[in-house]
Structure 1
Amino acid sequence: MSSPAPLTLDEQEKHRVLNRLRRLEGQVRGLHKMVDEDRPCQDILTLLSGIRSALDATGEVIFEQYLLSCAANEGEPLPTREIVKTARLLR
Structure 2
Amino acid sequence: MVGDEESITLVLNRLRRAQGQLAGVIAMIEQGRDCKDVVTQLAAVSKALDRAGFKIVASGLRECMADSGDGNKEPMTEAELEKLFLALA
Q: How would you bin the TM-score normalised by the shorter chain?
A: 0.7 to 0.9
Map 1:42-53 to 2 at 5 A.
Answer: 42-53=36-47
Partner of 1:73: 67
Map 1:50-61 to 2 at 5 A.
Answer: 50-61=44-55
Partner of 1:4: none
Per-residue CA distance 1:54-85 (angstroms, 9 max, x = gap): 11111101111232223223587643221222
TM-score of the superposition, structure 2-length normalised? 0.81
Aligned residue pair count: 85
Greater RCO, 1 or 2 (C-alpha within 8 Å, sep 6+): 1
For 2:10, which of 9, 13, 16 is the aligned residue? 16
Structure 1 unaligned residues grouped into runs of 5+: 1-6
Deviation beyond 4 Å, 4+ runs, structure 1: 74-77
Q: Distance in 2 between matches of 1:66 and 1:18?
A: 15
Q: Distance in 1 between matches of 2:75 and 2:4?
A: 22
TM-score of the superposition, structure 1-length normalised? 0.79
Q: Aligned with 2:67: secondary structure?
A: helix
